[in-house]
Amino acid sequence: MWQAFVRTLRCEGRAQARPAALRVLAVCLFASLACFLLCAQAVVHSGIDGAQSARLGFLDFLAAVLAGEGDYDPSLGERRAVPVGWLCVGVCMLLVTLPDPLHDPRHMQPLTMVLSGSRVGWWLASCAWVALCCLTAFIGIVAVCIAWGACWGAAVPSGGASAGLRLWEKTPELLGFDASAAAPALSGRGMGWRDVLAWLSCSWLALTSVCLVQRALVAMLPAPVAFSLTLAMLSAPLFVFHPWLVGSHAMLARSTFVINNGFSPSCALGVTLAHVAAAMCLGAAMTLRRDVVGQRR
Amino acid sequence: MVVVDEVFKTIRSVPVLDGVSAEFPSGAVSVLTGPNGSGKTMLLRVIAGLVRPTSGSVEVDGRKLHRDAPFPESIGILLEGPAFIGSLSGRDNLRALADLREGVSDAQIDDLIARVGLAGFGRRRYRTYSLGMRQRLGIAAAVMGAPSLILLDEPTNALDDEGVVMAKGVMRAVCDAGATVIVATHDADVVQDVADVRWRMAQGRISHVTGEEGRRHE
Ligand SMILES: Nc1ncnc2c1ncn2[C@@H]1O[C@H](COP(=O)(O)OP(=O)(O)O)[C@@H](O)[C@H]1O
Ligand SMILES: [Mg+2]
């Protein structure tokens, strides 16, 4: 089984590296666009109230891409800012991992599965490839944010302090989540490098788990249906505030570091790992049980 | 050597294979003929381990499928036409598939490409291949690495005359090297020229074609 796993992953790397890299590049472009919009808005603001714009930090750039939306309460009658940047990145992540001819039952699955020699090894390689693509895309996003921060001249934090990691009080307007809610939580605990790393890891895991769910669904359903279902799952937290909705854990605006009633990293870890396990078991069961009969495109 | 023993396969309560028992010897080309929908492709899928029989068993070189191993250990397949990655060249497609098994060198892949008549096209994107060129690459993938069991479903589909000669030559060569070759085909030419053993399928059942009709024409 492990031999099948290693061989399939090797085959995947050789066959898919280039198209996957192009799709990752598209994700980075979207992230870059979100950062650009943040800068543009900050410039507009600085035209209104002078020095404020200089206070954009690295975290602001991460938030521009990965903030999502805080706890939106329609009864307050606030204008809703749909987190377009976050949604775009989510959709891109799903699209990065969606096409995989080697594991597509309607494409090369029969050939690669038979040659690999093990159904379980073949399936695990598919999951590992999804995780690897997600990791690459996520690292790309973070790198883009850091690069934009550096170009903007965001302050570099010294001695583990959270100096460069604070959120600018004006950003909520730009990012689509509530300033007054974010500020106390941040000023109370601060958000050091470790907190950011913890949150980023959970965020990557959350996105990976959604992509794995999509991969498991592709084993049973046509790709567009699988994509739509997973997209609904990813964006469900925009409508309901609940820790079990895995998309929440990919939103900085719902982290305990940013809002008082936010979700902790341990909660995020639990929920995302549960999703990862469920997706992998479901996919493994389908792969082991199902007959591979031709359903050619 | 492949031994199929009393294999039944029912899909949505329709019997697709209805008690198939057959032997396919090594070092010979066994040809399956029969009308469309008679179960040839399904039988090949069962032998490949892709489809689990409802009952009955398949033994490949002494190992029972699904008991000793999920798939035949050394196998090459071309089932229901070729499927490759459009954005890669034919050669890179084969290279990637070669990663799934040990011991296929770049030189061997180049040889293979020339042997199926794709010399000069190996580095072109698969997307740009014509139907017949795709079929040729499919044949190349099936025989790559000299597997001991080779399953070919309609291998001469879309091939030109020269392609059919090539396909017959390749089948002959791999079986002379000791492989078990099972071919489902309608091509009378293939049946005539390369069949060592003939089986006919009809409505999920199989029968051995013997006598003058079944003997190989030398
Ligand atoms: N995926 C499938 N689902 C249900 N029935 C199928 C499927 N694939 C094939 N069949 C049925 O199995 C029978 C044999 O098909 P097949 O083996 O493809 O025939 P052929 O001899 O032409 O290759 C046909 O009646 C076909 O309708
Ligand atoms: Mg057929």
pLDDT tens figures, B196-217: 999 999 999 999 887 555 555 4
Q: Which of B86, B142, B138 is nearest to A99 (CA)?
A: B86
Nearest to A127 by CA among A291, A276, A22, A10: A276
Atom 5 (ligand 1): residue with closest C-alpha?
B11
Q: How far is the CA of B168 from the centre of ligand 1 (A)?
A: 26
Specify whether the CB–CB gap between A200 and A268 falls below 8 A: no
How far, in Å, CA of A181 to CA of A78, rounded?
Answer: 14
User: What is the largest distance, in Å, between two alpha-carbon atoms of chain B?
Assistant: 49
Nearest CA to ligand 1 atom 23: B41
The whole-number pLDDT of residue A175 equals 54
Largest CA distance in chain A: 66
C-alpha A122 – ligand 2 centre gap (Å): 26
CA distances (Å), A45 to each of A40, A56, A197, in order? 9, 11, 29
Q: Do the Cβ atoms of A11 and B51 come within 8 Å?
A: no
What strand order describes the sheet that includes B205-209?
B75-78, B149-153, B180-184, B28-33, B197-202, B205-209
Task: Convert A80-89 to b/e letters by CB count within 10 Å (16 or more is b).
Answer: ebebebbbbb
- A111 interface with B at CB cutoff 8 Å: yes
Supply the DSSP string of A203-228, one letter for each residue. HHHHHHHHHHHHHHHHTTS-HHHHHH
Q: 């992230």: which residue's tokens? A: A31
Task: Please tell me what DSSP assigns to residue B128.
Answer: G
Please state, rounded to an integer, the average pLDDT across all residues of chain A.
81
Contact list in B for residue A294 (CB cut-off 8 A) is 41, 79-80
The type of residue at A232 is A
Q: Roughly what angle, to the nearest 10 degrees, separates helices A2-49 and B90-98?
A: 120
**pLDDT tops 90 at residue A293:** no
DSSP secondary structure code for residue A255 in this structure: B
pLDDT in tens, A227-254: 999 999 999 888 888 888 888 888 887 8
Q: What is the tens place of the pLDDT at every residue in A42-70?
A: 777 776 665 554 567 777 788 888 877 77
pLDDT surpassing 50 at residue A158: no
CB contacts of A108 in chain B (<8 Å) are 83-85
Using the predicted structure, report yes or no on whether residue B188 has a pLDDT greater than 90.
no
pLDDT on residue A171: 53
Tokens found for residue A37: 């919009």
pLDDT in tens, B55-104: 999 999 999 999 989 999 999 999 988 999 999 999 999 999 999 988 89
Which of the four pLDDT bands, split at 50, 70 and 90, describes residue A163? very low
Q: For residues B70 and B86, what is the distance between their CA atoms, to the nearest angstrom?
A: 29
Average pLDDT, chain B: 92
Q: Give chain B's domains with CATH numbers.
A: 1-74+149-218 (3.40.50.300), 79-146 (no CATH)
Q: Are A287 and A123 a contacting pair, CB within 8 Å? A: yes
The residue assigned the tokens 């069961």 is A285
- Name the amino acid, one letter, at A68: G
Q: What span, in angstroms and rounded, lies between the C-alpha atoms of A70 and A262? A: 9
* Cβ-Cβ contacts under 8 Å for B114 (sequence gap 6 or more): none
Please provide the DSSP assignment of A61-129 as one string: HHHHHH-------GGGTPPP---HHHHHHHHHHHHHHS--GGG-TTTTHHHHHHHH--HHHHHHHHHHH
Q: What is residue A95's predicted lDDT score, i.e. its pLDDT?
A: 93
Mark out chain B residues that contact chain A at CB-CB < 8 A: 11, 41-42, 45, 48-52, 69-73, 75, 77, 79-81, 83-85, 87-88, 92-93, 95-97, 99-101, 141
For the segment A273-293, the average pLDDT, to the nearest whole number, is 92
Q: A179: which residues sit within 8 A by CB, 6+ positions away?
A: A169, A170, A171, A172, A173
Q: Spell out the residues 6+ positions from residue A59 whose beta carbon is closer than 8 angstroms to its own.
A: A164, A165, A166, A167, A191, A196
Q: What is the pLDDT of residue B217?
A: 45
**Residue A179 — pLDDT band, cuts 50, 70, 90?**
very low
In SS3 terms, A111-176 reads as HHHHHHCCHHHHHHHHHHHHHHHHHHHHHHHHHHHHHHHHHHCCCCCCCCCCHHHCCCCCHHHHHC
Question: For the CA atoms of B216, B140, A8, A289, what is the dihedral angle to 10 degrees?
Answer: -40
Query: Are the C-beta atoms of A20 and A96 separated by less than 8 Å?
Result: yes
Distance CA A88, CA A28 (A): 11
How confident is the model over A280-286, as a mean pLDDT?
Answer: 93
pLDDT for B218 beyond 50: no
A41-45, A113-117, A199-203, A228-232: least confident range: A41-45
Q: d(Cα A246, Cα A250) in Å, to the nearest integer?
A: 7
Domain extent listing, chain A: 2-296
